[in-house]
Amino acid sequence: MTNSSDFRPVALEHASRLINHGPTVLVTTADGSRRNIMAAAWSMPVEFTPPRIAVVIDKHTYTRELIAKNGTFAICIPGTALVDLTYAVGSASGRDLDKFARHDIDAKAGPVLGMPVIEAGCSAWLECRLIPERHTEEAYDTCFAEVVAAAADARVFANGHWTFDSGNTALHTIHHLGGGNFVSAGNTIRARTD
Amino acid sequence: MTNSSDFRPVALEHASRLINHGPTVLVTTADGSRRNIMAAAWSMPVEFTPPRIAVVIDKHTYTRELIAKNGTFAICIPGTALVDLTYAVGSASGRDLDKFARHDIDAKAGPVLGMPVIEAGCSAWLECRLIPERHTEEAYDTCFAEVVAAAADARVFANGHWTFDSGNTALHTIHHLGGGNFVSAGNTIRARTD
Q: What is the pLDDT of residues A59-85, one digit of tens each?
A: 999 999 999 999 999 999 999 999 999
A182 pLDDT higher than 60:
yes
Strands A122-131 and A142-153: antiparallel
Share of chain A above pLDDT 90, in %: 91
Q: What is the mean pLDDT of residues A16-30?
A: 98
CB contact under 8 A, A21 and B43: no
User: How many other CB atoms are there within 10 angstroms of residue A131's CB atom?
Assistant: 17
Under the banding of pLDDT at 50, 70 and 90, the label for residue A2 is very low
Flag whether residue B137 sits within 8 Å of chain A, measured between CB atoms: no
Burial of A48 (0-12, 13-18, 19+ CB in 10 A): middle
User: Which of A9-13, A19-23, A156-160, B32-36 comes out lowest in average pLDDT?
Assistant: B32-36
**Where do the domains of chain B lie, and which CATH numbers do they carry?**
7-184 (2.30.110.10)
Most B CBs within 10 Å, among A25, A169, A175, A193, to test the B interface: A175
Q: CA-CA distance, A6 to A3, in Å (whole number)?
A: 7
pLDDT digit string, tens, across residues A28-65: 999 999 999 999 999 999 999 999 999 999 999 999 99
Distance in Å, alpha carbon of A45 to nearest chain B alpha carbon: 6
Mean pLDDT for chain A overall: 95
Residues 74-93 of A with CB under 8 A from B: 80, 83-84, 86-88, 91
Q: CA-CA distance, A119 to A77, in Å (whole number)?
A: 9
Please choose, from the candidates B123, B138, B99, B146, the residue with its C-alpha nearest in 3D space to the C-alpha of residue B21.
B123
The length of chain B in residues reads 194
CB contact under 8 A, B182 and A172: no
pLDDT at site B59: 97
Distance in Å, alpha carbon of A34 to nearest chain B alpha carbon: 26
Q: Closest chain B residue to A57 measured between Cα atoms?
A: B46
| Residues with pLDDT less than 50, chain B | 1-2
Distance in Å, alpha carbon of A2 to nearest chain B alpha carbon: 22
Chain B positions in Cβ-Cβ contact with residue A193 (cut-off 8 Å): 87, 91, 179-180
Q: What is the mean pLDDT of residues A176-180?
A: 96
User: How many other CB atoms are there within 10 angstroms of residue B147's CB atom?
Assistant: 24
| Minimum-distance CB partner of B46 among A47, A91, A141 | A141
Flag whether residue B24 sits within 8 Å of chain A, measured between CB atoms: yes
pLDDT at site B93: 87
pLDDT digit string, tens, across residues A123-156: 999 999 999 999 999 999 999 999 999 999 999 9
pLDDT at site A93: 87
Burial of B132 (0-12, 13-18, 19+ CB in 10 A): exposed
Chain B positions in Cβ-Cβ contact with residue A80 (cut-off 8 Å): 189
pLDDT digit string, tens, across residues B144-185: 999 999 999 999 999 999 999 999 999 999 999 999 999 999
Under the banding of pLDDT at 50, 70 and 90, the label for residue A1 is very low
Phi, psi values for residue B129, rounded to 5°: -105, 120
